[in-house]
Every structure is written in structure tokens, then in C-alpha cells.
Structure 1
Amino acid sequence: MVKNHLLRDSGRSTGFPDRDLALSNARRTARRRLLRRHIVGSRKYLGEPAWDMLIDLFIQHCEERKIATGDLCVSSALPLSTALRLVQRMCDDGLIRKIADTTDGRRQFVELNPDLAWRLLAYFGTPIDD
């Protein structure tokens, strides 16, 4: 719980990664990965669907938005059944967790494990030299 608070307020205190920089870098990475996929024309040569999902989850986390399991699967560019198995494996490994939608019993949301969110903040909060 404390780390989640620090994630929102990071950058205001010395020693913590800059949340705005991290979000900007994550968005930039996601755009470049999508562009790369379009340039090559096939995802089979550029496959890191789990990383694509984690980037998407990190962006949603920083924006304090929820993402449904099905929407997360779209970001992987995998067939739905394959993407759902990948989501389940990441849940089983403790990287992400599913949360029931209280308004629609058919839907579940997915979020990052707080510790992984913190580590991704540190990763994306590092300035990128191009």
C-alpha cells in the first residue's frame, strides 16, 4: 500500500523515480513496439507478448485506470485463447492479479502486483538516451 502511494507521488521526493518520466518512457516504448510490428508486418518475428502486456498494465496503473482481461489480451497481439493462458501464467507467477468487476460478473480486471509496479517505475523512470 505504501509503495502504491509512493508511485503516485514519485518525483516529488529525492531518491524516487520520476513517475511522469516513467509514464512517458512506457508510452514511448509501447508506441515504438507497435510501430516496429507494423513495419515488419508480422508479430512472429518480434514476439514478446508478455512484455507488451506488462507495459500496457504499467501505463494503465500510472493513469489510475482499470483494464479488463480481454482488453489486455488485445495488447499482446496473440490469439485470444493464447493470450488468456499467458495472463493466467502471469497470475500464477504473481506478476499480476485479477480483480472481479463488481458491476459485471462476467468481467475481470487485471492489475500489476504492487512490487512489480514499483520495479517497472524504476525501470521506465530511468532516462532514455537516443
Structure 2
Amino acid sequence: MAEADNSLYRLRERPVIPGRAATGGSGFTGTATDLVESFYRARRLRDDAFGGIANQFREPTWDILLDLYLAAAKGRPVSVSSACIGSGAPQTTAIRHLALLENAGLVVRTPNPMDNRAGIVTLTEDAIRRVDDWARRVRSVWKADTALPGDPVL
């Protein structure tokens, strides 16, 4: 039941919380939002398609990074607990992976101006640049016109 609750939460809009979008304070500078959103949604579809075994496919660090990128694109800071939910992993696992991103200089935790008990997690400018670069590379090899079994023949 908790997994179903997390899936529903991930699909809802997050509340807008005042904060800064990235460490430079210049706002979101990413350019690959549509492609990243497609990949993030595709990962959720994969979870749905494979059911219980999908837990073995988890990449919490990557899911957190993509989730934070999309939140930054929408101007929505993300709480630590929401980032954990966005990872699709148990909270203790997600916090560990969030710490990996923080130690790598890809995310920054700041106090929530509306609730000092909760922290806000944002991507650094370097993280945004790296996701943009990854998306450009993926787009260059993406073959959207490749037919798949079951596709209609045109």
C-alpha cells in the first residue's frame, strides 16, 4: 500500500515553496526538460510494467537527479522527504543516495524558509549542465522512427 501511495504522490504537483533554483541563484538554466521528463516518466512506466520485480531495477541516485531537474524546470524547490519519494526507494536508501549527490557537488540542501525542520534540496548549476549534456548525447542516438513489434505498418 505504501508503494501505491508513493506512486500517486509522485504524480501530483508539488506545492510551490519559495527558494532558490540553483546555487548560482540565477534560476533554472536547463534546456532538456522535455526529454528528461520523458525518461523519468518512462522509468515509472517500467515500474508499472514489471510490477514487484521492478524494485530490483532501481537507481535511486539517478531518479533523484532527474526528479530534481524537473522540479527546477518548474521552479519548484523539493523537500528532502519529497526527493526521497521521487527516488522510488525506501526513505533510508534515498537519504543515502541524496548524500552521495550532495558529496559529489550536484545538490545543495538548504533550510526550508517555511519550516525549519525540513530541508530543501536543489541542483547545482553543474548538475543542470551535466543533465543537459547527457540529454543532448541521448538525443543524438535516439531513433524515434525505429519500428517496434506491434507498431502499425505505414
Confirm or deny: 8 A CA contact 1:7 1:121 kept in the other structure: no
The count of corresponding residues between Structure 1 and Structure 2 is 117
Greater Cα radius of gyration, structure 1 or 2: 2
Q: CA deviation at 1:129?
A: 2.8
Output one character per residue of 1:78-125: Cα deviation in whole Å (capped at 9) or x when no partner: 111111121122212212110111221111110112111112122224
Question: Structure 2: where are the runs of 5+ without partners?
Answer: 1-23, 145-154
Distance (whole Å) between structure 2 residues aligned to residue 44 and residue 6 of structure 1: 31
1:99 alignment partner AA: T
Confirm or deny: 8 A CA contact 2:58 2:89 kept in the other structure: no
TM-score by length of 1: 0.79
Instruction: Kindly indicate whether residue 29 of structure 2 is the aligned counterpart of residue 7 of structure 1.
Output: yes
Structure with more relative contact order (C-alpha pairs < 8 Å, separation 6 or more):
1
Question: Structure 1: where are the runs of 5+ without partners?
Answer: 9-18
Instruction: Kindly indicate whether residue 46 of structure 2 is the aligned counterpart of residue 36 of structure 1.
Output: yes
Output one character per residue of 1:49-99: Cα deviation in whole Å (capped at 9) or x when no partner: 111110001111112211111001001111111111211222122121101
TM-score by length of 2: 0.68
